[in-house]
Amino acid sequence: MGIILPILVMFPLFILRMIGAGDVKCFCSIGAIMSAEFVISSMVYSFITGGVLALIIMAVNKNIVQRFKHFIDYLKSCFLTFSLFQYDNLNTSDGAFRFSFAIALGVSLQLLK
């Protein structure tokens, strides 16, 4: 179950290109070694730490408002058309970070718990 749960939870995010296949595989391997409960908690901690990291990077790059406007425009287009589109990252590489850093922090927090 620890292997299947991350696939079920993360697959929609992968399809929308919000996370990569390596992130899904990383959570699957964590679930295989630990347990389903551990991997779900680790995923929650990883998303929280990923959000904090993203806010820090946006604050350093001074583009918080631009990024949030882009995200709100994405949500509006999804709701108005009743369809999901791939989420593009403003076609820039500034501010992008590997989610594996957030996964490492999330798993570490779960281990310390």
Query: Which is it for the CA torsion 23, 28, 34, 39, positive or negative?
Result: positive
User: Cα–Cα distance between 72 and 48 in angstroms, integer?
Assistant: 20
Statement: residue 32 has pLDDT above 70: yes
Range in 18-32, 41-55, 88-102 the model is least confident about: 88-102
pLDDT tens readout for residues 92-104: 556 678 899 999 9
- Per the CB < 8 A criterion, the answer to whether 72 and 79 are in contact is no
**Residue the block writes with tokens 């899904």:** 24
Task: Calculate mean pLDDT across residues 31-51.
Answer: 96
pLDDT tens readout for residues 66-75: 888 988 998 8
User: Cα–Cα distance between 110 and 87 in angstroms, integer?
Assistant: 29
Task: Report pTM.
Answer: 0.82
Q: Could you tell me which of 108, 110, 103 has the C-alpha nearest to residue 22?
A: 103
Statement: residue 91 has pLDDT above 60: no
What residue segments make up the domains of the chain, in order of their start? 4-112
